[in-house]
Every structure is written in C-alpha cells, then in structure tokens.
Chain A
C-alpha cells in the first residue's frame, strides 16, 4: 500500500476511534468529565488558532482573549431567545435590533467567528506594522480595549453584569467536530503556498519581503484567520459555560492559550492539540489544590491560588528547560510515527550486533 493511501486509512481509523470514544464518553462519563473534555477540544481550537499567528507566522500577538470575547458575545446574543434577553437586560433594555434575533447555533457561531475576524482586520491593519514586543503590547492593549468597550456598552452586551442563561448547545459532537475541522483547515493552510509564505515571515521578515512576499497582506491574513477561529472557540466556550462576563476575558485567558502554544511547540499544530489536553486537564486536576478535600478522616483546607502558583511554576520550568516545547516545529504524522518505530527497531538491531 502506498504511504498516501495508508495515511488516509489511518486518519479515517483515528476519526472512527474518536467517534467511538465520544459515544462512550457521552454514555458513561459524568457531566464534570464531559465538561473537561469539551474544554480540551475548545482549547485545542484556541491553541491552533494562536499558533497560526504566533508559531507559524511569528507574530507575537497577545490579543486572543479579545477575539474570543467578540465571538462569545456574538454567539450568546444571537442564540439567546428574546425572553431570556429581556431577563438579562434588566438595567437597560437591549438595543431593538438584537432583541428579537434568534439564530441556530452553527450560524451564530460562524457569524461570531467572522465578527472576530472583522475586528482583527480593523486592528491588524494599523498594528501589524509593529514588530516583536511592540506588537505584543499593542495587541494586548487592543484586547483590553475590547473588554472595556464590552463592559461599557450596557445596551448591547449588558456591561459588567454579563450574560446568563445562554443556550447550552455545545456538546462533545460540536466541540470535537469543530476542533477536527480546525485541525484539517490549519493543515490545509500551513501546507499550501500561503502557509510557507507565513513561515518565511517567521524565519526572516527582511528576506521574505525581498523574495517578493507582501508582509502586510500575509500578516493580516494570518491574523484574521487566527482571530476567526478564536471567535469560534469563544462562541463554543460561551455556550458551554452558559454565562459570560467581561472579567472572563482578561489577560490570563490569553496567557492560558499562549501556554498551550508554547508547551506544544511554536509552529506545531498537533503539538497545540496535545498540549491543549495536557494544560486543560492539568488545570482541572490541580483544582483540588484550591478546594478543600476530605480523605477519610483527614481534612485538608484548600489554599486558593496555589493551583496557579504550581501551574505557573510548571510553565516556567517548561520554558526554561524545554524551550522548544513538546514538538518543536514538527508535526505528529503517521510517517513520523512509523519512522520513529523503525528507527528504534533498527537501533536495537545495531546494538545487538
């Protein structure tokens, strides 16, 4: 069997295994575990989208929380039934245009993505001329501005009160379906000529520009696509949580996603997916540190904040000692997997001689 065909079969098999697992999970796991599984997939989407911007194109953007907020609010406002909106907006009524719109979830989430992409386009056009640290701080600034605007536009976003009783459509099928689709699209982009152009910008802007690559066009393109998926991820998250408010979208949220990207390896999409699972389940497991636990007769009081202390320590250890992350810029692929086993096998052969 030729490798191409083999890989295709293996991909299909992997998807089948995933489907079986999801069926099993839906039947047998409790709501808490299902929630965590959903979060893993959402973080995978967010990680991949930031990776396209930071890891592939080399633009150090810290604005992801802002784009997620845009997607989350758009999805929430477009899926909430009029009655729920009325309950939410008790301080100041919602603007009439939004009051009576209720769209199906997939439509709403797509619009949310496009809206985030549009905001990214408006922001990116001026900001992407900046480089390195300056870009980082400017995108962080814009993300904060988005949050502040959301806090202050009472009649559209309900301000600091946030939105509650958002229809909880997100389930394993939605989050894993979209994560899989994102993975496919990201690979399609990265392997195309455009993806290579993105990478050349990461490697050396001046050389890339001298090779005829329009920095502006490609940077904006990567930024906007990344923001689209951040918006979609935000929408899924809003529907999963059922409630959102501006405080959710602070810098720490961006930081969590940066962490996923760095841990997985900047420039590796499969790395981001793997590390999304590690980071999300890690954060959930560490939750015990913050909460009181009872082990038989022994009672241990939780220490609030300890979870993040442990977590940020782990992050710094990773950053300092494993700078390239789990995967570096490599992708997990069937070929690589086979090569890996072949190498191990042949190494054993050599050493036994």
Chain B
C-alpha cells in the first residue's frame, strides 16, 4: 500500500471517527448522569437527518438555517424522550428502565417509518462540502477535512460548558451523586434535561455531517451507528467524555483500516466494533479511561 493511499484511508478513518465521537458523547453523558444506556440515542441521530432533509427538500431553507433548525428540533426531541420514557422510571430497577429505553428506540424508528416512509431518501448535498479537493496525490471530499475540524470546535465548546459554567458544574455534581447534588442546590431534573439536550445537539451535528458523507437516509439507519457509538463510549470508559472521543476515533480508524488491510473481511466490518467491545470488556471492563469503582459490600 502506498503512503498516499494510507493517508487517504487514515483521513477517512479520522473523519468517520469524529462522527462516532460526537454521537458517543451523548451516550456517555447520559450514562454518566443516569447510569442508563440511552438506547434511543441512535434514533435521535436518525431523526436529526430527517429534520435536515425536510428543511432543505420541502421548505427549501438555506442549508445553514436548515441545520440550525434541525439541531434545535433534535434537542427538543431528546428532551421529550427523556421526559416521556425515562423520567417516570427514575427510581425503578435498571432492567425496567432499559426496556423502556429500547421501547422508546423502536417507537421513534417506527414513527419515522410512518411519518417519513420506509424507502431510502437521498440526503441533499451542499456543493461547498462535497466538492473534491486534492492535496498532493490524495483526493478527498472537502467534508472529510471539515468534519474533524467541526468536531474539535464542538469539543472545545463542550469542554468549556462542562468545566467553566454553572450548568457544567451541576452536571458534574449530578454525575457523582443525585442526592448530594440536590442538597447542594442543584436542580437535578433540569440538569438531566440539559444533558439530554446537549447529547442530542451533538448527535444532530454528527447526523447532519453523516448525511452529507453517506447521503442516503432510512428510518432504520440509527441502529447500527447507535450501537457502534455506544461501543465507542464503553471502549473509552463510559461516563468519561474524553474516553468517548478516544473510543470514537479508535473505532472509526480501526474499521477503515480493517477494510484497507484485510479486504477479505469487508463483510465483517460491522462485527469489528462488537469484537472490540468484547475484548475491552474482558480485558479492562471499565474502558480505557474509565475509573475503577469498588462495589460497597
């Protein structure tokens, strides 16, 4: 394999990894705060694509307006899901909450079939992003370079929000202990709602960029990326945002490299994530950057 080709694969891998990272953050934040796998997160990601699609295709808004609206609507959807499917079960056994989460996921998926139809739709492309650029001997879609840049900007924003604002402080407090946070004057329910909103916003950004990179959307498209990004979050150490980013990149680059170096295994592309998950869980169950917590006996 030539160096150029390798670089091309690497750039693609990083680009895919960025998308995984953005979506994985939503899983990890919710898990950090509620100890809950938000199974519906993949469907929220999928919905964001449809919102963007309708903004451009039906209402013919300019792309930046569309994306903004799509991101906001997705955030609202995330908060709605939390309110409807998780809030009533805050003190229920974990299994019950998980079943409700899976229920919410299937609900959204099928709702999308009902509203948007089951047939694949072509995601509108924005020439500015899809034009092909050449660097040396590598030719890439401009998007492939923009995605990691956009991701870094979003991550910086998130870091600022969590470390420097009062909301972020509340989120950190709630993730440690709900009751203590409440005693310290943190509005726990509001913090949880905000967490869902932020996770959904990042998923929407990820989703829109995903749509431009892989411009075909169907209601079932949330499932596999959703699972993979959850895996990314676990691999990095669930509850840990840097971990989710790291996991996303490992998964994205690993997947692309697997196909590049072992083309015979292309059919097993989706299995890569699951194998990685199981290896990590067995070797380091708390993930690469996760902290070990001993169970109190």
- A, B bound: yes
Q: Which residues of A contact B (CB under 8 A)?
A: 54, 60, 126-127, 129-130, 132-134, 136-138, 140-142, 144-145, 148-149, 151-152, 206, 251-252, 255, 258-259, 262, 266, 303-309, 312-313, 315-316, 319-320, 323
Q: Given A129-B282, A133-B98, A316-B85, do A304 and B104 touch, yes or no (CB 8 Å)? A: no
Q: Which of A138, A142, A148, A313 contacts B268 (CB 8 A)?
A: A148
Q: What are 14 of the A-B contact pairs (CB < 8 Å)?
A: A126-B282, A133-B37, A136-B98, A137-B230, A141-B227, A141-B277, A144-B270, A144-B274, A149-B271, A304-B117, A308-B109, A312-B107, A320-B89, A323-B96
> In the complex, are the beta carbons of B94 and A132 less than 8 A apart?
yes
Q: CA A206 – CA B273 in complex, angstroms?
A: 31
The number of inter-chain residue pairs (CB within 8 angstroms) is 120
Q: CA A313 – CA B105 in complex, angstroms?
A: 11
Write out the residue numbers on chain B whose beta carbons fall within 8 Å of the beta carbon of A319.
Answer: 89, 96, 99-100, 103
Extra A-B contacts (14), CB below 8 Å, given A141-B274, A148-B268: A126-B278, A136-B98, A137-B230, A138-B281, A144-B270, A151-B267, A152-B267, A304-B118, A305-B219, A309-B110, A315-B103, A319-B89, A319-B100, A319-B103
Q: Which residues of B contact A (CB under 8 A)?
A: 35, 37, 84-85, 88-89, 92-96, 98-100, 102-104, 106-107, 109-114, 117-118, 219, 223, 227, 230-231, 234, 267-268, 270-271, 273-275, 277-278, 281-282, 285, 295, 297
Q: CA A313 – CA B274 in complex, angstroms?
A: 29
> In the complex, are the beta carbons of A130 and B281 less than 8 A apart?
yes
B28 → chain A closest CB, angstroms: 13
> In the complex, are the beta carbons of B227 and A140 less than 8 A apart?
yes
> In the complex, are the beta carbons of B37 and A137 less than 8 A apart?
yes
A246 → chain B closest CB, angstroms: 11
> In the complex, are the beta carbons of A258 and B102 less than 8 A apart?
yes
Q: Specify the main secondary structure of chain B where it touches its partner.
A: helix
Q: Which of A138, A303, A308 contacts B277 (CB 8 A)?
A: A138
> In the complex, are the beta carbons of B268 and A60 less than 8 A apart?
no
Q: Specify the main secondary structure of chain A where it touches its partner.
A: helix
Q: CA A320 – CA B285 in complex, angstroms?
A: 31
> In the complex, are the beta carbons of A306 and B267 less than 8 A apart?
no
Q: Given A305-B111, A305-B113, do A258 and B99 touch, yes or no (CB 8 Å)? A: yes
Q: Which of B84, B93, B94, B271 contacts A133 (CB 8 A)?
A: B94
Write out the residue numbers on chain B whose beta carbons fall within 8 Å of the beta carbon of A132.
Answer: 94
Write out the residue numbers on chain A whose beta carbons fall within 8 Å of the beta carbon of B282.
Answer: 126-127, 129
B89 → chain A closest CB, angstroms: 6
Leading 9 A-B pairs by shortest Cβ distance: A305-B113, A141-B274, A308-B110, A312-B107, A152-B267, A305-B114, A148-B271, A312-B106, A316-B103
